[in-house]
Amino acid sequence: MSVAIIDLDGFVGGGTRHRRSVAAEVDAACREIGFFSVTGHGVPDATVESAHRAALDFFDLSLEDRMSAAKVEPSAPYGYSPFSAEALNRSLGGEAAPDLKETYNVGPVGDPPRPTSDMIDADERDVWSPTPWPSAMPELRPILTAYHEAMAELAATLMDAFALALGLDDGGFAPFVARHGSALRLAHYPALDRPPEAGRLRAGAHSDYGTMTILRLDAEPGLQVETSPGQWVDVVAPDGALVVNLGDLMQRWSNDRWRSTMHRVVVPHGGHARRRLTMPFFHNADWDARIECITAEGERPRYEPITAGAHLMAKFRSTVV
């Protein structure tokens, strides 16, 4: 299906009427399916293409060189994870087989807001822990840092749109995301020369965890969204657009006004799949941000308050094989 396409051009610095018009489009898309595409997002094509090319080059390194940037332990948030080391469906309590992919996760690229030694919670220290970088590819770090920073800037714009869409003051979410520990993932799905075993997916059915995910699709199909129970449809986007989907935290924050929708990556072409690579940016609220349901007048909150960090790490650790 073609998810809604929302033009962000002029939202930053635009007039009140234009900003509220964009926010209304965002609200409609988030109510209906929780997925939409953005154009006019301001991320230079060169930044996107450079990161995509560098990501492919990383996965073309020898396994030994990729392992030089491996996670320090399987439950660590950042670094390289070999093929079939994750099962995303398990974040929902499922028992699906490991996913047909390998990944490389990059954590916050700037300095932490305070020394990690001052952080009492070990999980919070993990969120701000350094990313292992491959010694054989020193150029990867500056390229992915630039992409991470561009995605973070776009996420800030989208959070402003979210605030207006939910009836908050302009910039109402800014205090909750000033020190966000967001992560970039390189997700590599190698080519398959034969159909996989029954039930094996490139990425098992799951919803994302934080506020939103920003994704650049490549030419290889496979991403599907569940529009109704058991009804899966393909997600496509126009050239140059970025796909945005809501995470569980934003559904909770909006008191279920918005949807964090189940999605998956299937094996197309009758099982003979080409190589696929995507670069999802997982945006999160600040670790200690207190998330309380945003309710309309007379509406009761459906969830108890929670801190964003506790929600995030509980979801993340459940997926490790």
Q: What is the mean pLDDT of residues 104-116?
A: 82
Instruction: Count the Cβ atoms, other than its own, within 10 Å of residue 74.
Output: 12
Share of the chain above pLDDT 90, in %: 61
Report whether pLDDT(92) > 70.
no
Q: Name the more confident of 113 and 74.
A: 74
Query: What pLDDT was estimated at residue 53?
Result: 97
Report whether pLDDT(47) > 90.
yes
Task: Measure the CA–CA gap between 210 and 147, rounded to whole angstroms.
Answer: 19
Give, in order, the Cα–Cα distances in Å from 267 to each of 88, 196, 224. Answer: 15, 8, 11
Report whether pLDDT(178) > 80.
yes
Report whether pLDDT(319) > 70.
no
Report whether pLDDT(291) > 90.
yes
**229 exposure class (CB count in 10 Å sphere: 0-12, 13-18, 19+):** exposed
Say if residues 34 and 260 touch (Cβ distance below 8 Å): yes
Say if residues 247 and 208 touch (Cβ distance below 8 Å): yes
Give, in order, the Cα–Cα distances in Å from 5 to each of 1, 130, 243, 278. Answer: 12, 36, 9, 19
Q: What is the mean pLDDT of residues 89-94?
A: 51
Give, in order, the Cα–Cα distances in Å from 151 to each of 113, 165, 185, 278, 295. Answer: 19, 21, 12, 14, 29
Q: What is the mean pLDDT of residues 124-146?
A: 94
Task: Measure the CA–CA gap between 69 and 84, rounded to whole angstroms.
Answer: 17
Report whether pLDDT(30) > 80.
yes
Q: Name the more confident of 238 and 96.
A: 238
Q: Name the more confident of 113 and 78.
A: 78
Q: Name the more confident of 98 and 215.
A: 215
Contacts of 126 (CB under 8 A, 6+ apart): 76, 77, 313
> Residue 198 — pLDDT band, cuts 50, 70, 90?
confident
First-last CA distance in the chain: 32
> Residue 100 — pLDDT band, cuts 50, 70, 90?
confident
Give, in order, the Cα–Cα distances in Å from 215 to each of 223, 228, 278, 283. Answer: 11, 22, 7, 11
Q: What is the mean pLDDT of residues 39-46?
A: 96
Q: What is the mean pLDDT of residues 97-112?
A: 84
Query: What pLDDT was estimated at residue 118?
Result: 79
DSSP reduced 3-state for 156? helix
- Residue by residue, DSSP assigns 277-321 as EE--EEE--BTT-EE-----TTPPPSS--EEHHHHHHHHHHTTB-
Report whether pLDDT(89) > 80.
no
Query: What pLDDT was estimated at residue 185?
Result: 96
Q: Angle, to 10 degrees, between the axis of helix 16-32 and the axis of helix 140-165? A: 100
Task: Measure the CA–CA gap between 158 and 8, rounded to whole angstroms.
Answer: 9
Q: What is the mean pLDDT of residues 104-110?
A: 92
> Residue 170 — pLDDT band, cuts 50, 70, 90?
confident
Query: What pLDDT was estimated at residue 248?
Result: 95
Q: Which residues pair with 283 in a beta bridge?
A: 212
Task: Measure the CA–CA gap between 247 and 29, rounded to whole angstroms.
Answer: 14
Q: What angle do CA 256, 75, 195 make, to 5 degrees?
A: 80
Say if residues 311 and 181 touch (Cβ distance below 8 Å): no
181: nearest Cα among 74, 84, 103, 78: 78
pTM: 0.91
Domains of the chain: 5-317 (2.60.120.330)
Report whether pLDDT(103) > 80.
yes
Report whether pLDDT(151) > 60.
yes
The mean of the pLDDT values for the chain is 89
Reported as type and span, the H/E element at residue 106 is: strand 102-106
Report whether pLDDT(193) > 90.
no
